[in-house]
Amino acid sequence: MSPVTPPPSPTPPPSDSTMTSAFNQEALDFHSKGKPGKIEVVPTKATNTEKALSLAYSPGVAVPCMAIAKDAAKVYDYTSKGNLVAVVSNGTAVLGLGNIGPLASKPVMEGKGILFKQFAGIDVFDIELNTLDIEATINAVKALEPTFGGINLEDIKAPECFEIETRLKQEMKIPVFHDDQHGTAIISGAALLNACDITGRKMSDLQIVMNGAGAASISCAKIFISLGVKRENILMCDSNGVIYEGRKEGMNKYKEFFAVPTKKRTLTEALVGADVFIGLSVAGALTPEMIMPMAKNPIIFAMANPDPEIDPAKARAARPDAILATGRSDYPNQVNNVLGFPSIFRGALDTRSTQINEEMKLAAVHALARLAREDVPDRVSAAYGGKSFKYGREYLIPKPFDPRVLLWVAPAVAKAAMDTGVATKRIEDFDLYKDRLESIQGPTKVFIRSAIHKVHSNIAGDNGELPKIVFPEGASTKILKAIRTLVDEKICHPILIGYPDRVKEKIKSLELRELEDVEIIQPSTHPKFKEYANLLLQKRCRKGVNMAEAERLMLDPNYFAAMMVEVGDADGMVNGATQNYADAVRPILQSIGLSRDGVPSGLNFMLLEDRLVLMADTTVNLNPTSEQLATIALQASRVLEYFGIEPRIAMLSFSNFTGKEGTPAKMKKAAQIVKAKRPDLIVDGDMQADTAVNPDILNRIFPFCELKEGANILIFPNLESSNISYKLLQQLGKGEVIGPFLMGIRRSANVLQRTTTIDGIVQCVTLTVLEAQYLKARRKGRTT
């Protein structure tokens, strides 16, 4: 029998000043309220009927069982193995807590599972092993191979962790990864590459001092060597001082590899003239006096948790020229393993790799280093309270909440797996693979990416000509930052309205180099100013507008932009980022006007994991008539048809198919009008909202209803009900709501909400472009 872990004497909680009694209580409440713990198992298939249960379990489950018995590879088709990782620990080296045992380590392992899921969409079971025996641990993990697609070893102390991982990698055919070793090494490796770039150093010239000789430190040293550092230039220290050639005390075969001939015996001596300090030890191990004799522009990575080897403020005071990194989020350059393991496993699982080898780790290092040198999108800044980030001394590596990490690291790891022959499944199209990765980050990403692909396809069919979209709020920070993404993605040719000097100065202050050559128009000096004013006069002369008023209005960027779209000098416009909805939409209605029989109305997209639902009218008409509602429904149906989706329209009311006076009668009549104008459309009503979206209710209680599969267009009886509904869903629903978008206009024009984000602007412009392309193709007599 293997020995079990005795009840350990817990290490006292960290003395970090932030760990107040109030914070401690908050942490306990977080883990205990509601369902205890942080994770649960959720089915991926609906099992709420007898038929579904017979498929999920007996007798239906026998069919995939037999298929897997005949062909083991089918397990990836019929089970969750390909997206399932085991987080395995014995609790002997937990965070800054030490050996607290397997039971006490469980909250950490559950937390690890959350990070896998949140950052890479990977499912996790945490497994805490009650053994200290190496062989027992290896045998237990090996026995799990049929269940999991990968193994993440966690918080197992050195030197046992080295042998456990090495043996498991040799004896198993799925990826095995000890994150405490390799995760820290990968992230710090990326940070070191960039620190060298910033200070003008070469990896081969670095003199590195490492304090700590545990799993993470040894793995860091090895990856530094793979990146070009010379082994003889690394001085490693442990609690007994410098690890030198011939030392006997406290040595093992892993430390022996880093023993070098040197007369230096202490950390203080080792630091004299050193370029780099790597700390993976204990708080306070480094003093300001010790870093004074380091080389110019010293690189100091003090990564002990929860408190670093030296307080960054004290290090900065002693060496203002230092580049600093820690393991904490409240200081710049956090070396956080979440930048690595979720994306690394994603790439390994998606290629069904048999291991995570050195080439895959190095691919992750270089991907992170390259990503840090890119401009940081504002959605990342928003996640950090609006703080701006720019590659440099205080931004060496990406931030954990940067959604691009998955899109950069997982493909790099997958490609390295394929190149080195450990992948058993190839990825043939990496563009499609990146789209799939993006889908992990939410349904909006999937929807907008599909729209962007359609935009690009239409551009290719139009001889590569980018649609021209005009922005009246040319000096808006949000608009300019969104345009950077639009230019990068080649979605449109932007035209800004404003005073050129002011707009260019704003672009310069925001460091938007991509927009240096953007087209900027000042209405008062534009050669078509008079022409536009005359056209507006013709449209509004019977509405109290004379020539002087027309010219005054044409100085308004919103009117000028709308007239550009009206005469075809631009394909579409987007405004509203800095003004209220009514003021933004008025120039559009007065200059462009409505489409034939069009009704101005607002449309919102409700994006769920398994479907798309449109809601209208959410912004314009207080109490539309049956005729107006029918037109709004027809307009919404064309939007779905843009995306190749068959419209299924529900006219909503407080009753089901009564058609009584008031709202039910109005909605019933609206459905009849739609059917008369478009007999091919699926439409029904009046009906309640739950009936409209629930196929079970429809088919069981109302089998006569046309909406057998449930509605994907919901038409509300008035503005109150629609606006309240979409805003409630936006705040409380499990789906994502985007919009509103303006329908019923002759040309492509949309109005933003003032509260919209930069991502929201990009989404709105993408759909504006798609509509512009559709209208252009229709005018030319072809579909898109």
- The residues assigned a catalytic role are 57, 112
Nearest to 632 by CA among 594, 664, 665, 606: 594
Please, are residues 265 and 296 in contact by the beta-carbon 8 Å criterion? Answer: no
Q: How far apart are alpha carbons 668 and 654 in whole angstroms?
A: 12
Strands 612-616 and 601-607 turn out to be antiparallel
Is residue 183 a contact partner of residue 340, using CB atoms and an 8 Å limit?
yes
Q: CA-CA distances (angstroms) from residue 523 to 401, 546, 573, 605?
A: 41, 19, 15, 34
Kind and range of the H or E run holding 452: helix 443-461
- Would you say 364 and 344 are in contact if contact means Cβ atoms under 8 Å apart? yes
Percentages of the chain per state (helix, strand, coil), in multiples of 5: 45, 15, 40
Query: Is residue 180 helix, strand or coil?
Result: helix
In whole angstroms, how large is the CA radius of gyration of the chain? 31
Task: Give the span between the Cα atoms of 593 and 587, in whole angstroms.
Answer: 9
User: Roughly how many angstroms between the first and final C-alpha of the chain, as a whole number?
Assistant: 70
Tell me which residue of 747, 744, 746 sits closest to 628, measured CA to CA: 744
Question: What residues contact 517, with CB distance under 8 A and at least 6 apart?
Answer: none
Is 322 within 8 Å of 308 (Cβ atoms)? no
- Rounded to 5°, the CA angle 759-760-765 comes to 100
Cα of 735 vs its chain's centroid, Å:
15
- Rounded CA-CA distance 24/721 in Å is 44
Q: Give the C-alpha distances (Å, rounded to integers) separating 729 from 600, 605, 737.
A: 23, 11, 7
Residue type, 355: Q
